[in-house]
Structure 1
Amino acid sequence: MSFFIRTKKKFKKIIARLFKKKQMRIGIYGPPNAGKTTLSNRIVRDWTGDAVGPVSEIPHETRRARRKEGVTIADEKGNAVTIDIVDTPGVTTKIDYKEFLEYGIESEEAVVRAREATEGVAEAMHWLREDIEGVIYMLDSTQDPFMQVNIMLIGIIESRGLPVIIVANKNDLPDASATRIKSAFPQHPVISISGLEGNNVEELYEKMIDYFG
């Protein structure tokens, strides 16, 4: 191989490193029990074989933001995006330790969980205002989307000008209605999926490549 060709290849590698696109930090946000960790685990397992954290029917099971770096999502055409996924605690306007008592958790542990969940929500809001560069907003499509917390969070996301994909989760359940969510937030793309069953996640991956790539 000539000196010219070797130099040209080395130059191309240097240029590629200099102009390599920074991977985006994508936060998965939404109210408690919307399926954020379930989706986080599915994305990470599908593309890395790993997982983010445990899933539970108990509200606020995720009480601290969890991050998985360098997840590359690709399609059959060769388009791809590499992201850092941040699985955040469910954001709500009020956390009461009595919520945990209903699931058989002892009073002392319930108080600790409530405090940790409150701190986790504050942490999630800090991430959203300072560090997050794109958002997947998770909603349980069997529930009313017109909740104060959803309006507040979508407003913050919009005020920062962040790209956002709204996910209407749990479309495997009979009461699911993605149409209701689309009517609530018509200004944003809405993808109907089941994070648990994997229904329609391919469409979500395509939208993530398009929006976050």
Structure 2
Amino acid sequence: MGLFADLRDSISAVTAKLFAGESEDPKRIGIYGPPNAGKTTLANRIARDWTGDAVGPESHIPHETRRARRKENVEIERDGHTVSIDIVDTPGVTTKVDYEEFLDHDMEKEEAVRRSREATEGVAEAMHWLREDVDGVIYVLDSTTDPFTQVNTMLIGIIESRDLPVLILANKTDLEDSNVQRIRNAFPQHETIELSALEGDNMDEVYDHIAEKFG
């Protein structure tokens, strides 16, 4: 009887995990937005808060993230409930990558051309992830700049067409020129959460919404 009892207990344990949702794979959450919106800063903030590790280097140079980077099994706990996600930090999406942007940061022309080529490939990779491989989107916007651009409108449209859950974040509220209301006005169909990923301001609310949206 001992063997059957052990088997019964094992089956019960597996069944309990299935109904508890523990066997589900982590959802892939893409962090999207234009260049220099603070996507990697946010990805690193989330990763460090919950795993102790960073996702990648942060920089003021545009298109510094030229390949999608993934941090797996980030477990966010809110109100006793754990949400497991894979963070995908994507390159900033833009309609044109000009090598002259890099020349402004004291790079030689050859290096600037190489970086612009890699950045263009990174934009294509980010679009592939968005169309095929993510289960939800955190869309990061710089609250000091005008959010109503062709790229932002296009990306939000793609997200909506795929019926992906999306959380819009108005970043850089620590800066004097921050204007969160402009972002709310640009995309009134989605709730906008303000934060400073650099300073860590309002991250508790961000985590609450991540758990609600993607849990």
TM-score, L = length of structure 1: 0.95
Identity of aligned residues (%): 66
Identify the residue that residue 129 of structure 1 maps to in structure 2. 131
Partners of 2:57 and 2:68 in 1: how far apart? 13
The structural deviation recorded for 1:180 is 1.0
Partner deviation per Cα, 1:12-58 (whole Å, 9 max, x = no partner): 22224555233100000000000000000000000000011001110
Which residue identity is paired with 2:93?
V
Identify the residue that residue 38 of structure 2 maps to in structure 1. 35
Aligned residue among 72, 77, 91 for 1:74: 77
Identify the residue that residue 139 of structure 1 maps to in structure 2. 141
Which residue identity is paired with 2:146?
D
Identify the residue that residue 85 of structure 2 maps to in structure 1. 83
Partners of 1:203 and 1:12 in 2: how far apart? 36
Q: Tell me, which stretches of 5 or more residues in structure 2 are unaligned?
A: none
Q: Is 2:182 the partner of 1:180?
A: yes
Identify the residue that residue 152 of structure 1 maps to in structure 2. 154
Partners of 1:209 and 1:9 in 2: how far apart? 31
Which residue identity is paired with 2:164?
L
SS of the residue 2:67 aligns to = coil
Partners of 2:129 and 2:12 in 1: how far apart? 36
Q: Tell me, which stretches of 5 or more residues in structure 1 are unaligned?
A: none
Identify the residue that residue 45 of structure 1 maps to in structure 2. 48
Q: Is 2:10 the partner of 1:10?
A: yes
Aligned residue among 115, 118, 122 for 1:116: 118
Partners of 1:110 and 1:55 in 2: how far apart? 18
Partners of 2:12 and 2:132 in 1: how far apart? 34
Question: Which shifted more, 45-54 or 16-25?
Answer: 16-25
SS of the residue 1:34 aligns to = coil
Partners of 1:16 and 1:108 in 2: how far apart? 58
The structural deviation recorded for 1:5 is 5.8
Identify the residue that residue 197 of structure 1 maps to in structure 2. 199
Q: Is 2:208 the partner of 1:206?
A: yes
SS of the residue 1:82 aligns to = strand
The structural deviation recorded for 1:100 is 0.2
- Structure 1 residue ranges (4+ consecutive) displaced by more than 6 angstroms after TM superposition: none
Which residue identity is paired with 1:148?
Q
